């Protein structure tokens, strides 16, 4: 089964409204032909409409950085799956910055992932160990418990369509990326756990990305490991030179 690489750019809280389209236009100009690699850009919510115009006629896709699990109601400040449907295909859920700064729990993340799937949006469910977990040897326990809790409300048919991102907190925005070898090992553990919970088909089909200080200078090293299905890129995705190099590197590795 051929799985094409998935490269996701998480702009985080960058991109004041006119900048979003400018950033995408610059990326479009710089990109060579991308036939196989799937590329997703996740701008802030308010940029999604203009980004939607900018990606028309290209094979760039859009994602949101968050979602709420209810369809509508008195939930001030939240954005529902119905509002995102039609505008984007992917949604990042459970990013460590939301877990840390906004108090998102595993239960909330599970509800968000389930809401996505039930509205035909693909969640990119983030899991990751802290520096303390890493130092104390608890990385695997933390990662797999976040994973099990996050997919808890999904069926095996649903789980095979989602994306998981392994993002060690100690690697995010620090310039200290997790080595490709180690990331591949964790991704294998994640797929193994999915297999135990949902069966072989789910573990074969689910896509698992690595994220954390991915730059053009290290991105190609991850593609040497077939278990790494793609990359979730933060800082380097708002720089069109860097991001296009990462994408073209992935495209070169496609068979």
Instruction: Decide: is 139 part of the binding site for ligand PGA (CB under 6 A).
Output: no
In the bound state with ligand PGA, the residue whose beta carbon lies nearer, of 139 and 237, is 237
Q: With contact defined as beta carbons under 8 Å apart, do 161 and 122 qualify?
A: yes
Minimum CB distance to ligand PGA, residue 92 (Å): 8
Please give the radius of gyration of the chain, using alpha carbons only, rounded to the nearest integer: 17
Q: Reply yes or no on whether 119 is catalytic.
A: no
Minimum CB distance to ligand PGA, residue 211 (Å): 4
Query: Exactly one of 55, 153, 164, 233 binds ligand PGA (CB under 6 A); which one?
Result: 233
**Nearest partner of 229 among 250, 201, 208, 206, judged by Cα:** 208
**Sole window of 83-91, 112-120, 192-200, 231-239 interacting with ligand PGA (rule: CB under 6 A):** 231-239
Token duo for residue 247: 């994408």
Span 171-200, contacts to ligand PGA by CB under 6 A: 172-173
Q: Reply yes or no on whether 167 is catalytic.
A: yes
CB-count exposure of residue 195 (10 Å: 0-12, 13-18, 19+):
middle
Minimum CB distance to ligand PGA, residue 31 (Å): 19
- Count of residues of this chain found to bind ligand PGA when the rule CB under 6 A is applied: 13
In the bound state with ligand PGA, the residue whose beta carbon lies nearer, of 104 and 167, is 167
DSSP per-residue letters across 89-117:
SEEEES-HHHHHHS---HHHHHHHHHHHH
Query: Exactly one of 94, 123, 234, 249 binds ligand PGA (CB under 6 A); which one?
Result: 234
Q: How far apart are CA 55 and CA 74, in angstroms?
A: 32
Query: Exactly one of 63, 180, 212, 230 binds ligand PGA (CB under 6 A); which one?
Result: 212
**Sole window of 30-38, 187-195, 221-229, 230-238 interacting with ligand PGA (rule: CB under 6 A):** 230-238
Instruction: Decide: is 167 part of the binding site for ligand PGA (CB under 6 A).
Output: yes
Buried/exposed 111-147: b ≥16 CB within 10 Å, e otherwise: bbbbbbbebebbbbbbbbbbeebbeeeebeebbbebb
Instruction: Decide: is 235 part of the binding site for ligand PGA (CB under 6 A).
Output: yes
Q: How far apart are CA 131 and CA 139, in angstroms?
A: 9
Instruction: Decide: is 129 part of the binding site for ligand PGA (CB under 6 A).
Output: no
**Nearest partner of 41 among 252, 253, 240, judged by Cα:** 240
Minimum CB distance to ligand PGA, residue 96 (Å): 7
The residue whose Cβ lies closest to ligand PGA is: 234
Q: How far apart are CA 240 and CA 96, in angstroms?
A: 24
Query: Exactly one of 5, 7, 10, 124 binds ligand PGA (CB under 6 A); which one?
Result: 10
Interacting residues with ligand PGA (CB under 6 A): 10, 167, 172-173, 211-214, 232-236
Q: Catalytic site residues?
A: 95, 167
């Amino acid at each position: 089964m051929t799985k094409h690489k998935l490269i996701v750019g998480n702009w985080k809280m960058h991109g004041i409204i006119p900048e979003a389209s400018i950033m995408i236009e610059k990326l479009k100009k710089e990109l060579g032909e991308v036939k196989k690699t799937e590329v997703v850009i996740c701008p802030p919510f308010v940029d999604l409409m203009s980004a939607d115009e900018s990606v028309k006629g290209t094979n760039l896709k859009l994602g949101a950085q968050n979602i709420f699990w209810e369809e509508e109601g008195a939930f001030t400040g939240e954005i529902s799956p119905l509002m995102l449907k039609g505008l984007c295909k992917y949604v990042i859920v459970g990013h460590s910055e939301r877990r840390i700064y906004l108090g998102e729990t595993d239960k909330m993340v599970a509800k968000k992932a389930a809401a996505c799937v039930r509205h035909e949006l693909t969640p990119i469910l983030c899991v990751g160990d802290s520096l303390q977990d890493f130092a104390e040897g608890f990385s695997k326990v933390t990662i797999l418990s976040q994973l099990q809790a996050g997919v808890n409300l999904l069926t095996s048919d649903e789980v095979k369509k989602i994306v998981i991102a392994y993002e060690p907190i100690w690697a995010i925005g620090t310039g200290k990326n997790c080595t490709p070898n180690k990331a591949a090992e964790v991704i294998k553990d994640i797929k193994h756990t999915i297999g135990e919970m949902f069966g072989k088909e789910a573990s074969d089909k689910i896509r698992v990305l690595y994220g954390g200080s991915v730059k053009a200078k290290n991105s190609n090293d991850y593609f040497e490991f077939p278990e790494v299905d793609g990359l979730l890129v933060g800082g380097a995705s708002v720089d069109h030179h860097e991001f296009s190099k990462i994408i073209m590197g992935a495209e070169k590795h496609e068979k």
